[in-house]
């Protein structure tokens, strides 16, 4: 992708690009960029991705209007000794756009449920600016606690989870803002007793981080067609707490105090993926360095070219991402199996 830094960014209207209008009360009117998949939708073709897996919606917090979209593969595991991992998914959209029901995220979750295979839980979380951060993080942690209660059979466990899921093999997964949520939800979960649920892997695809100081990649792709700087700045101004700048830990944890950085060292194994054509690539690389410096086991996969959210537009990139996720999930699950077998052998 060519260097865009010589082109003026002032010609970009971020509201028009993002298809949003800010109302007098501060809320947004959003024009849908992607169609939504209803739980009652009848699929017309057998080739549609959403037909691969069964799915249903489960209320999480009716007061906050949050819910969970749960996916399972159509064929159950061969026996109870082959239960599936659980992927807790957070969608992207700069914290201000989209839904768990938006077609690209719905289809991607459906494909993962079948191809990994896994049970996938996708969260419909509250959006900013109506609900500024940390509302999305609160919803993510509430989801983890819901999974814990399911595993403990509090008020009854959903039959899909009872039949399919190995709660000792749970992952947090998300792209863009969803990747940011994976990071912050995992940090919060360190302060919670989630047992018998065990989060054994964090999957952050092109995680959404920034800062007050422009990185070289942000300056190089100032007029990026997917995420130009004016749009990036606007989304953060709408998502962060009132009065906060982009060096707030929600946006730029790399500049956080020593306590938070020390806490990062307690995170479980991570997969961080990115593309060289993404304005956020430098921040993603910086995150990897900070995590590795704290002793976290990080699998970093950064490809040349591409753009932010490229898996939505390029089927080959989506397939490559799915392969990376499958390898990471399989490796983490094998480690759990090995540790479990080793523990039994010492008894």
Higher pLDDT residue, 10 or 76?
76
Lowest mean pLDDT among 52-61, 74-83, 244-253: 74-83
Task: Assess whether pLDDT exceeds 70 at residue 42.
Answer: no
Task: Assess whether pLDDT exceeds 50 at residue 200.
Answer: yes
Cα(319)–Cα(87) distance, rounded to whole angstroms? Answer: 18
Higher pLDDT residue, 347 or 180?
180
Chain segment 146-158, per-residue pLDDT in tens: 999 999 998 889 9
91 is catalytic: no
What pTM, to 2 d.p., does this model score?
A: 0.93
308 is catalytic: yes
Task: Assess whether pLDDT exceeds 50 at residue 45.
Answer: no
Q: Name the catalytic one among 89, 106, 248, 308.
A: 308
Per-residue pLDDT, 1: 40
Lowest mean pLDDT among 45-49, 121-125, 227-231, 295-299: 45-49
What does DSSP say about strands 119-124 and 66-72: parallel, antiparallel, or unpaired? Answer: antiparallel
Chain segment 72-100, per-residue pLDDT in tens: 999 877 765 679 999 999 999 999 999 99
Per-residue pLDDT, 76: 73
Q: Indicate the domain borders of the chain.
A: 52-345
Residue 297: CB atoms within 10 A of its CB come to 13
Task: Assess whether pLDDT exceeds 60 at residue 8.
Answer: no
Give percent above pLDDT 90 in the chain. 81
Task: Assess whether pLDDT exceeds 90 at residue 39.
Answer: no
- Structure confidence at residue 342 as a pLDDT band (50, 70, 90): low
Per-residue pLDDT, 230: 96
Lowest mean pLDDT among 39-43, 205-209, 213-217, 313-317: 39-43
Q: Name the catalytic one among 175, 176, 210, 217.
A: 176
- The mean of the pLDDT values for the chain is 91
Cα–Cα distances in angstroms (integers) from residue 8 to residues 12, 229, 265, 277, in the given order: 9, 11, 40, 19
330 is catalytic: no
Give me the residue label for tokens 């459906």: 110
The structural architecture, per CATH, of the domain 52-345 is 3-Layer(aba) Sandwich (3.40)
Per-residue pLDDT, 44: 38
Per-residue pLDDT, 338: 72
- Structure confidence at residue 130 as a pLDDT band (50, 70, 90): very high
Question: Mean pLDDT over residues 17-31, rounded?
Answer: 96
Give me the residue label for tokens 């304005």: 279
Per-residue pLDDT, 202: 98
Helical packing angle, 135-151 and 177-189, nearest 10°: 60
Q: Name the catalytic one among 107, 138, 139, 278.
A: 278
Task: Assess whether pLDDT exceeds 80 at residue 3.
Answer: no
Task: Assess whether pLDDT exceeds 90 at residue 6.
Answer: no
Higher pLDDT residue, 21 or 336?
21
Chain segment 256-298, per-residue pLDDT in tens: 777 888 899 999 999 999 999 999 999 999 999 999 999 999 9
Strand order in the sheet with 199-205: 54-61, 66-72, 119-124, 84-90, 165-175, 199-205, 270-275, 298-303
- Structure confidence at residue 346 as a pLDDT band (50, 70, 90): low
Question: Mean pLDDT over residues 31-45, rounded?
Answer: 71
């Amino acid at each position: 992708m060519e260097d865009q830094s010589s082109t003026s960014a002032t010609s970009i209207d971020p509201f028009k690009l993002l298809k949003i209008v800010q109302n007098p009360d501060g809320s947004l009117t959003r024009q849908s960029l992607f169609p939504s998949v209803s739980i009652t939708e009848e699929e017309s073709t057998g080739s549609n991705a959403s037909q691969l897996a069964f799915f249903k919606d489960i209320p999480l917090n009716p007061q906050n209007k949050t819910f969970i979209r749960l996916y399972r593969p159509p064929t159950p595991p061969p026996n109870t000794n082959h239960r599936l991992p659980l992927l807790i998914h957070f969608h992207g959209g700069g914290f201000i756009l989209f839904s768990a029901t938006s077609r690209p995220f719905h289809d991607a979750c459906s494909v993962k449920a079948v191809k990994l295979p896994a049970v996938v839980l996708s969260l419909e979380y509250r959006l900013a600016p109506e609900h500024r951060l940390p509302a999305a993080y609160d919803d993510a942690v509430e989801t983890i606690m819901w999974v814990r209660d399911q595993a403990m059979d509090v008020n009854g466990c959903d039959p899909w989870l009872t039949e399919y899921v190995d709660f000792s093999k749970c992952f947090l997964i998300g792209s863009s803002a969803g990747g940011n949520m994976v990071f912050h939800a995992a940090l919060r979960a360190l302060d919670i007793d989630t047992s018998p649920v065990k989060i054994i892997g964090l999957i952050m695809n092109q995680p959404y981080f920034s800062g007050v100081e422009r990185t070289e990649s942000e300056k190089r792709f100032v007029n990026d067609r997917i995420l130009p700087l004016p749009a990036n700045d606007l989304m953060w101004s709408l998502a962060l707490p009132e009065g906060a700048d982009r060096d707030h830990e929600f946006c730029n944890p790399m500049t956080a105090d020593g306590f938070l950085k020390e806490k990062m060292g307690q995170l479980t194994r991570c997969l961080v993926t990115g593309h060289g054509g993404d304005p956020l690539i430098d921040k993603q690389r910086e995150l990897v360095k900070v995590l590795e410096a704290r002793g976290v086991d990080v699998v970093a996969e950064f490809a040349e070219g591409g753009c932010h959210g490229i898996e939505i537009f390029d089927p080959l990139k989506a397939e490559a991402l799915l392969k990376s996720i499958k390898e990471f999930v399989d490796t983490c699950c094998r480690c759990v199996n090995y540790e479990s077998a080793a523990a039994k052998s010492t008894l």
